[in-house]
Structure 1
């Protein structure tokens, strides 16, 4: 039987990668994203899920704050849509992690790298094909590295093409992309065979355990509903913007034909635009144009 728990739901995501009881999963994920440059052997979760009220504060609770044995600090988050200002927010969070490490009078040499990782179930950079983007402070030519102290990693899940075969997925970044997209429709045995990796076997067990106790299942369902509602709100806003744009276009054409003076309509609602369009259409018919 399929697990039925979507790891991109932020509550399940937090249980998966933000549990002190399962550091091997977090270590595997971090090492997959950071690659050969850094190999982490220990990680501490700084904001584990503690109680029933934790699902009410997404920013402070369901994002994952962590620190490795070298003092590097991490913010790991899941985004199921592309919110306005995401790039700026990621830069702000990363900078906050960085400057928050020292106080007045502390030496800058005490600063350790601050690394943000955003798993995004949407496409942010359509002009770029890689599913994993790594942003640093470098020269324009790319041959000079100012510092690795600020890093932002972006994993755009829709860019990953699911393989048609059943071979073990060896590439760790692709493996995580596949897991995030498909784990809810797989059984624990299928996950074990697909990845042949202890970290993913443990991850499957964590997702399966999310259904028990009832507290976890209830909070998961609440967050799933919240994410679906947010997607619906965003889709409604997109649809409204499209309809308003179409109405503005039609009104502009009618005014040109009727010889009316142009005026700004940007502040008007769709309902107000509809009334104006109907009035112009009536004038159009009355003139027999």
Structure 2
């Protein structure tokens, strides 16, 4: 398809296709985000496939899972929209990948860090910073780190692009690319080989009719998902907080898991506001109904 308009590399389907096709560019992006750490020299992408159901399934996450030569796991994701359950889902995915490393009887010393890298097409924090690094440390003395098994890097792309001085070198180039991929004048100024290769691959993907169709299907699915969530939130405001939460959770559960067992419906009918809020936070990350309700009762707010 000659002169096809470029696809948006921030669409999760395109992002995953782009970087699973180019592991060297993915490696460069990882090192750019983690520039204060020893560079990663090689990665193996563990989930390169994109299944047909991934395009239309509700609440599907198209992330990239990669492992380096030391066994460190990287979970790289492009996130287009903020929602109430998103932070919980991020932590859940990281913890799940950490727990999956060990079998019964394995030594905990065999655990390797799980590192999340989330590029966000929105501003998350009301703060001038745009690039964030989180790990398990003391609240009063953040310099005292208890453990580095779980690490999370967040980049607020619009803010980082606006405050480009915060992200220097390679990361600034990647941010400029992801924010201005359509602007030829910006592309000409970026000389980084990994980004030039990514841009060439984006042009190739944009000219592939099948990929363009998949991107359109994915965009429609994401729009439908946003519409459903927005409608549930609007219903919640109109019906009162507790009843609204109950209605929203019921609809989200049905959309993701189908018809609900009577026991689940009864549980929803008798749940309090704190329980409903906790369960809603688990819906997007849960793979089964049981995972939504696991962990017993939700502690009341204090």
* TM-score for both structures, normalised by structure 2: 0.70
1:271 equivalent in structure 2: none
Structure 1 residues 266, 142: CA separation in 2 closer, same or farther (over 3 Å shift)?
A: closer
Gaps of 5+ in 2: 245-302
2:175 equivalent in structure 1: 177
1:198 equivalent in structure 2: 193
Post-superposition Cα deviations, 1:45-85, rounded to whole Å, max 9, x if no partner, equal 10113565553458777211111111100111122111222
CA contact (8 A) 2:4 2:206 kept: no
Structure 1 residues 122, 238: CA separation in 2 closer, same or farther (over 3 Å shift)?
A: farther
1:12 equivalent in structure 2: 14
| Distance (Å, rounded) in 1 between the aligned partners of 2:54 and 2:229 | 25
Radius of gyration: which is bigger? 1
Answering whether residue 76 of structure 2 is matched by residue 81 of structure 1, we say no
Higher mean Cα deviation, 29-38 or 46-55?
46-55
Structure 1 residues 236, 194: CA separation in 2 closer, same or farther (over 3 Å shift)?
A: farther
| Distance (Å, rounded) in 2 between the aligned partners of 1:191 and 1:236 | 39
CA contact (8 A) 1:77 1:119 kept: yes
CA contact (8 A) 1:191 1:204 kept: no
1:212 equivalent in structure 2: 207
| Distance (Å, rounded) in 2 between the aligned partners of 1:60 and 1:103 | 27
CA contact (8 A) 1:3 1:207 kept: no
Post-superposition Cα deviations, 1:88-144, rounded to whole Å, max 9, x if no partner, equal 111111111111111111111111000111111122211x22211111011121121
CA contact (8 A) 1:15 1:206 kept: no
Alignment of 1:61-140 (within 5 A): 62-126=62-126, 128-140=127-139
CA contact (8 A) 2:130 2:159 kept: yes
| Distance (Å, rounded) in 2 between the aligned partners of 1:76 and 1:58 | 20
Post-superposition Cα deviations, 1:142-163, rounded to whole Å, max 9, x if no partner, equal 1211111101111112212448
Task: After the TM superposition, list the runs of 4 or more consecutive aligned residues in structure 1 that deviate by more than 3 angstroms.
Answer: 50-54, 56-61, 161-164, 228-242, 264-268
Higher mean Cα deviation, 95-104 or 151-160?
151-160
| Distance (Å, rounded) in 2 between the aligned partners of 1:48 and 1:86 | 23
- Alignment RMSD (CA, Å): 3.0
Alignment of 1:207-246 (within 5 A): 207-234=202-229, 244=238
* TM-score for both structures, normalised by structure 1: 0.73
**1:24 Cα deviation from its structure 2 partner:** 1.4
Partner SS, residue 36 of structure 2: helix
Higher mean Cα deviation, 145-154 or 45-54?
45-54
Structure 1 residues 163, 111: CA separation in 2 closer, same or farther (over 3 Å shift)?
A: closer
CA contact (8 A) 2:116 2:153 kept: yes
Partner SS, residue 87 of structure 2: helix
CA contact (8 A) 1:162 1:178 kept: no
